[in-house]
């Protein structure tokens, strides 16, 4: 039965449960979170490792650098990021064309990559494994074909991988791969792509020095094998609409096969 005491209890319930308690709890969490934020924005690990990530239409340019007087390294990847387990790594995110959004759901929140601006993200992975990353901002015709892999490795394995990636490309050993290198050079691929140890030093497309050791081809569109390379080279725009790379389907079949084998051999 309604009465004066019932109305008073309802008012105190609304005031205490709907105003006072949320204000106190959320205020305490805000103060606690603000105290934690400076730590999460500190620069990378003591060894000076820094990763430059550029979101481009429609792939990811990844460059490893060491700062603070550490020995320089020359490692460029595409569509793949490797991180040491339990170490803080500074990622500097940018874009030369349109707004992209860098997102590895298992490791951290998404961060926009805005042309003309560099944004810093610090990650400290706590579990080894391979995690899927994506672009979380619509960026054009092939936005859906712009994913990458983030591989978290034990520190000794990571350092060994980093050292191996800094080496120049291996010389082709078979007749087919030597033919593939000739096709690569004669078809003008070196104008856009770099292969350290050869005359190819193009700055436009992905660095292909160790492309055969990566987990996928064309930002996760195809598997990393000779068949995947052949399909990508011959049918680029069918697989990724509006991609800047021209298709080379006009090459003879033997040349396409040799070129694909050469790409696969770049371990």
pLDDT digits (tens, 9 = 90+) for 29-80: 999 989 887 776 666 555 678 899 999 999 999 999 887 666 678 899 999 9
Q: Which position has the higher pLDDT, 10 or 207?
A: 207
| Predicted local confidence at residue 43, as pLDDT | 63
- With pLDDT > 70 as the criterion, what percentage of the chain qualifies? 93
Average pLDDT over residues 194-206: 93
Contact call for residues 241 and 162 (beta carbons, < 8 A): no
Q: Report helix angle 175-186 to 253-265, nearest 10.
A: 100
Q: Is 226 helix (H, G, I), strand (E, B) or coil?
A: helix
Q: How confident is the model at residue 103 (pLDDT cuts 50, 70, 90)?
A: very high
Contact call for residues 244 and 57 (beta carbons, < 8 A): yes
Q: Which position has the higher pLDDT, 49 or 184?
A: 184
| Predicted local confidence at residue 234, as pLDDT | 94
| Predicted local confidence at residue 9, as pLDDT | 76
Whole-model pTM? Answer: 0.83
User: What is residue 47's DSSP assignment?
Assistant: T
Contact call for residues 148 and 219 (beta carbons, < 8 A): yes
Task: Give how far Cα 252 sits from Cα of 196, 218, 227, 258, Å.
Answer: 26, 22, 15, 10
| Predicted local confidence at residue 2, as pLDDT | 64
Among candidate residues 44, 41, 76, 45, the one with its CA nearest the CA of residue 62: 76
| Predicted local confidence at residue 112, as pLDDT | 95
Q: pLDDT tens digits, residue range 208-256?
A: 999 999 999 999 899 999 999 999 999 999 999 999 999 999 999 999 9
- Rg for the chain, CA atoms, rounded: 25
**Which contacts qualify for 16-20: CB closer than 8 Å, 24 or more apart?**
none
Average pLDDT over residues 188-198: 93
Give me the chain's average pLDDT, please: 90
End-to-end CA distance of the chain: 81
User: Is the pLDDT assigned to residue 120 strictly greater than 80?
Assistant: yes
User: Is the pLDDT assigned to residue 202 strictly greater than 70?
Assistant: yes
| Predicted local confidence at residue 40, as pLDDT | 66
Average pLDDT over residues 161-173: 92
| Predicted local confidence at residue 68, as pLDDT | 65
Beta bridge partners of 196: 198
Instruction: Mean pLDDT check: name the lowest of 71-75, 93-97, 162-166.
Output: 71-75
């Amino acid at each position: 039965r309604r009465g004066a005491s019932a109305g008073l209890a309802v008012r105190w319930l609304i005031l205490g449960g709907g105003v006072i308690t949320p204000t106190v709890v959320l205020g305490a969490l805000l103060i606690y979170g603000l105290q934690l934020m400076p730590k999460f924005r500190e620069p990378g690990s003591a060894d000076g490792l820094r990763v430059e990530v550029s979101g481009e239409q429609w792939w990811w340019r990844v460059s490893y650098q060491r700062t603070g007087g550490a020995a320089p390294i020359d490692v460029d990847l595409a569509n793949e990021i490797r991180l040491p387990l339990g170490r803080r790594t500074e990622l500097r995110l940018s874009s030369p064309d349109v707004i992209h959004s860098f997102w590895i759901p298992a490791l951290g929140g998404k961060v926009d990559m805005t042309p003309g601006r560099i944004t810093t993200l610090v990650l400290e992975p706590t579990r080894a494994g391979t995690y899927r990353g994506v672009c979380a901002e619509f960026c054009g015709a092939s936005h859906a074909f712009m994913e990458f892999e983030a591989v978290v490795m034990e520190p000794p394995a990571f350092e060994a991988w980093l050292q191996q990636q800094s080496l120049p490309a291996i010389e082709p050993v078979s007749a087919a791969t030597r033919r593939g290198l000739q096709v690569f050079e004669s078809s003008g691929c070196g104008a856009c792509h770099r292969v350290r140890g050869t005359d190819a030093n193009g700055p436009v497309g992905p660095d292909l020095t160790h492309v055969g050791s990566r987990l996928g081809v064309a930002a996760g569109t195809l598997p990393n094998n000779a068949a995947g390379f052949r399909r990508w080279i011959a049918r680029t725009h069918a697989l990724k609409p509006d991609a800047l790379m021209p298709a080379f389907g006009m090459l003879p079949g033997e040349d396409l096969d040799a070129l694909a084998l050469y790409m696969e051999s770049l371990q």
